[in-house]
A and B are shown apart, each in its own frame.
Chain A
Amino acid sequence: MQTRKKFMRTALALTTGTILFAPIHLSAMDASDAPESVTIDSMAKLYAPVEFDHLMHTEYASCEECHHHTTGVQVADPNCLRCHANTPEADEVSCVGCHAADRFDDKYLATLDDPTIYHIDKPGLKGAYHLNCIGCHVIIDGPTGCQDCHAMTEAGEKRFNTGKHAPAGGNTSGAHH
């Protein structure tokens, strides 16, 4: 129903110092404060970095659809307010600020076990991107294939036994017998 506005919450990654938004206390931000484009390359290995056209995506979605409450807008949900009325977490803009790039780090996994932590189901950075992008793209009919967004690298072709590394035989039967 909000097709026009829905958008990839994903991409403001700014991991590798492309752009660094320090957790600063701003009263509010809007699309003009954001960079026109962001290169998402922090995890690029099997796929080439993504050149994310931030400006274009702002036409499809409002900031908080991707950035939740983090663009300086006061949190509205009373349930969230119980903890985040005035906490630094709410000012975090960059994706990686909250969504761990190393989702499987021991320390991170240990937090799952901490009974005082509510957000035990927070996706890692890669999950956050893909869940956001693909989730919205499916709805608004955006591109959803892997290589629609990022081209496969040589390492990727090796991993997927495709392209240069495609199997020689090529008979289509991955099953038993």
Chain B
Amino acid sequence: MRLFSKDRPEIPIVNHTKEDGSAWTIKEKLLLGLSVTEYKKQFFRNPVNWFMIMIFAIGVPLILGRYAFGLGWVTHASNDYPWGLFLGFGLFGMVPLSASGFMLGTTVELFGRKDFHSIERLALLNGLLGYFFAVLFLEIDLGMPWRLPYPMFVSLGPAAVLFLVAWHVATYLSVQVAEVLPALFEWMGWLKGKRIIRKYVLGLTVAGIILSTLHQGALGALFTYAPAKVHPLWLSTNFQWLHFFVSSIFGGLSMVIIASTLIKNFMGWRCDEEFKANLDYVTVGMAKGASLAMITYLVIKLVAVAHDQEWTYLLTGWGSYYMLELGVAVVLPMFMFAFGVRNNWVTLIRFGAFIAAIGIIWNRLNTSLVCYNWQMYQEIPHWKEVWITVTIYALYFLTYRFIVYRLPIVYEWKGER
């Protein structure tokens, strides 16, 4: 464990008051109790930050360029592939990996599994940030980003799937903000706010399940608008929403396992004893849930192939690619999870989670880019598009880290709660 300062036991901050009894100011809390010079020093000591600076040095001008010169300046401006990486990765990939919020919210608040309490806030934060950045990706991709509220307030097309996605993502984002706010209120010392939200937790959680079921499914259903464009193996008009919904369950769980692993290894100083002591237990629990979702997913995938009579496609090159995807992205991590759960081998589970999360992104990219227009040429995204995608993801990483450094996410607030 690496502390910021060996001779200052009051940091990392877990309380409103310092050793001498005086209160931390918000500015001090933001600086993690360090002086500005100390803060800068530790910031530049970290090689990850240098890597981030490199990404931003090119990425930020590219993003500015996108708004100044249009989407055509950073993408191939393809009319055949209207959706590229911003949505293929940013929306279709980020959203399923953010299903963690409603998964653990449900487990803890609804099913009363208090033993998963220590991971709940991380799962909620993971959900909130995932959605927030999916919207940010959308704001890069939309032709007229300043019209984001149009489907809500200006011109409504309620019979469209995207209308449902827009409404649900927006409402769910608010639900998630409400769910994460208590951590902020504790940190700020505004207990009244926390109490107000506490009253509505059950309602928020149920709303979370409904909204998540529908919009995770709706993201899949968006592709049913293109029955002649997406390869039949990746598109089942009957089951597409189920494929997307069920895969988001293990996607979200895997993402929490990954985040908690990174936090445990690189931010040990921030975790409290309960979080660390419980982590292996909850990881095994989540892996159990994920592997159940995976077997369900595989069954529905199989049902879809059988229902649409697509067996012959399996013998083609596309079929091999399909099997490869299912094998590497689902079957392999599923067995890693199952084996890990049975033998309490947490490291295996953590590797499995990593594969499963990449696998979800792979599946979404396959659906939206690789197997889209499968009878046409393959679109390879412009390098600027790739770089901007990486930049936004880096911003996601930084925001994630910024919050976990400060708010009581993986530790319990020692002040009044």
- A residues at B contact (CB < 8 Å): 176-177
Judged by DSSP, the binding face of A is loop
Shortest distance from the beta carbon of B76 to any chain A beta carbon, whole Å: 6
Report the separation of the CA atoms of residues A177 and B77 in the bound assembly, to the nearest whole angstrom.
6
Closest to B76 in A: A177
Report the separation of the CA atoms of residues A176 and B76 in the bound assembly, to the nearest whole angstrom.
10
Report the separation of the CA atoms of residues A10 and B175 in the bound assembly, to the nearest whole angstrom.
74
Report the separation of the CA atoms of residues A176 and B77 in the bound assembly, to the nearest whole angstrom.
8
Collect the chain A residues with CB atoms within 8 Å of residue B76's CB.
177
Collect the chain B residues with CB atoms within 8 Å of residue A176's CB.
77-79
Interface size on B, residues (CB 8 A): 4
Shortest distance from the beta carbon of A49 to any chain B beta carbon, whole Å: 41
- A–B complex contacts, Cβ < 8 Å, 6 sampled: A176-B77, A176-B78, A176-B79, A177-B76, A177-B77, A177-B78
Shortest distance from the beta carbon of B158 to any chain A beta carbon, whole Å: 33
Collect the chain A residues with CB atoms within 8 Å of residue B77's CB.
176-177
Report the separation of the CA atoms of residues A176 and B78 in the bound assembly, to the nearest whole angstrom.
8
Shortest distance from the beta carbon of B350 to any chain A beta carbon, whole Å: 43
Report the separation of the CA atoms of residues A177 and B76 in the bound assembly, to the nearest whole angstrom.
7
Within 8 A of A (CB), among B65-79: 76-79
Report the separation of the CA atoms of residues A177 and B79 in the bound assembly, to the nearest whole angstrom.
9
Shortest distance from the beta carbon of B71 to any chain A beta carbon, whole Å: 13
Shortest distance from the beta carbon of B320 to any chain A beta carbon, whole Å: 30
Report the separation of the CA atoms of residues A87 and B383 in the bound assembly, to the nearest whole angstrom.
73
Shortest distance from the beta carbon of A177 to any chain B beta carbon, whole Å: 6
Collect the chain B residues with CB atoms within 8 Å of residue A177's CB.
76-78
Report the separation of the CA atoms of residues A176 and B79 in the bound assembly, to the nearest whole angstrom.
8
Report the separation of the CA atoms of residues A177 and B78 in the bound assembly, to the nearest whole angstrom.
7
Lowest 6 A-B CB distances belong to which pairs? A176-B79, A177-B76, A177-B77, A176-B77, A177-B78, A176-B78
Closest to B80 in A: A176
Shortest distance from the beta carbon of A58 to any chain B beta carbon, whole Å: 52
Closest to B79 in A: A176
Closest to B77 in A: A177
Closest to A176 in B: B79
Within 8 A of A (CB), among B47-93: 76-79
Shortest distance from the beta carbon of A175 to any chain B beta carbon, whole Å: 10
Collect the chain A residues with CB atoms within 8 Å of residue B78's CB.
176-177
Shortest distance from the beta carbon of A76 to any chain B beta carbon, whole Å: 50
Shortest distance from the beta carbon of A83 to any chain B beta carbon, whole Å: 46
Shortest distance from the beta carbon of B383 to any chain A beta carbon, whole Å: 15
Shortest distance from the beta carbon of B176 to any chain A beta carbon, whole Å: 40
Collect the chain A residues with CB atoms within 8 Å of residue B79's CB.
176
Closest to B72 in A: A177
Shortest distance from the beta carbon of A57 to any chain B beta carbon, whole Å: 47
Shortest distance from the beta carbon of A176 to any chain B beta carbon, whole Å: 6
Shortest distance from the beta carbon of A3 to any chain B beta carbon, whole Å: 43
Report the separation of the CA atoms of residues A177 and B382 in the bound assembly, to the nearest whole angstrom.
12
Shortest distance from the beta carbon of B92 to any chain A beta carbon, whole Å: 24
Report the separation of the CA atoms of residues A176 and B80 in the bound assembly, to the nearest whole angstrom.
10
Shortest distance from the beta carbon of A167 to any chain B beta carbon, whole Å: 20
Report the separation of the CA atoms of residues A27 and B78 in the bound assembly, to the nearest whole angstrom.
66
Shortest distance from the beta carbon of A141 to any chain B beta carbon, whole Å: 39
